[in-house]
Each structure stands twice: as C-alpha cells, then as structure tokens.
Amino acid sequence: MIAALASLVIALAAAPSSHDGDGSGRVDERGRYVSRVSPPNVIADQARATEEAFIPDEDCRNVDLPPMVVPVVAGERLSAYAFVTVRLCMSDRADHWNVRDEQHFLLDRLVKTAHAVPFRSSGRGAYDRSATEAAFIAEAEAMIGEGMVEEIHLLGGDIRPLNN
C-alpha cells in the first residue's frame, strides 16, 4: 500500500504541467506555477505621480508649508479629510524668506480657512477644491501682501473617507 502511494506521488510530480509551453508562465524548482504576467502596480504609479508633483517649479519661487488636513463635505455633512501640502508660488517682489519665517502663522490661518471653506465632494470620488484654493490665496495675500502670491498648489491630496 505504501509503495502504491509513493509511486502515485512520484507520477503526479513528474506529470507535465498544463502551464508548460503556453507562454503565460513557468513551473519553478518546487513545482509552483510562476506567472509571467505582471499586473499593473497602481500604487507605484500613484507614488511616482505624487513624487513628480512635489518637484519644485523652476519658474517661480516656492514656499512649501507643512502638511495640513482639509475637511471634505458632501452637502452639509463631513464626509472625509484630505491631507495636503500647500505650495505657494511667490511673485518676484515677495520676500519668500520672510514668508518662510512666518509660515507657522500662515499655516494657522489656512487651517482656519480650510474649515470655513472646505473641499466639496461632487460624488464618485471627485472633489471640488477651487473655492478652498481661492480662499487660501485671499488669506495668504491678506497676510503677505496683495499680488505677492502668483499661484497656489495643493499637493498630495490623500483623501480618507469617514465611516459614517
């Protein structure tokens, strides 16, 4: 009985795999199937896109503020939080070193502004942040000076929905 069982195991181990020769994979030395198809790595693509977004723009003088949390509302209800880094593109007339020295005050003002003018959920994972960006520019210019901020970029945007 043991000899019959041993010969059956040897016969099954030596049997050709149905995956051999069709070009979709191979069987390794332990008899495991190894696919030759590599699925797309969405996380790596997202990380690469985020990394590229954080590369400083050569055409302007950037001031990156520390990361902050912006609420996201659907209707009048809090639905998520967005984790962003605010990048200010300063005009040539602006003293960006002074802005860097005072960035903690500016960040405080922008956090308060974000809670007053949050991102708006427009359904199916889409978010409208234009009102928040406009309010950020107005608040930054109120502190730094009129016309000192050319553009504002909200980098990152990792949005975490609440479990309501």
pLDDT tens-digit readout, 85-139: 999 998 888 888 888 899 999 999 999 999 999 999 887 778 888 999 999 999 9
Q: Which amino acid is at 106?
A: L
Average pLDDT over residues 20-44: 64
pTM of the model: 0.63
| Nearest alpha carbon to residue 13 among 5, 24, 23, 22 | 5
Label residue 73 exposed, middle or buried (CB < 10 Å: 0-12, 13-18, 19+).
Answer: middle
DSSP secondary structure of 58-116: TTSEEEEPPPEEEEEEETTEEEEEEEEEEEEEE-TTS-HHHHHHTHHHHHHHHHHHHHH
Domain-wise residue ranges, the chain: 2-35, 42-161
Q: In the CATH scheme, what is the code of domain 42-161?
A: 3.30.1130
Q: What is the pLDDT of residue 19?
A: 45
Q: Would you say residue 141 has pLDDT above 50?
A: yes
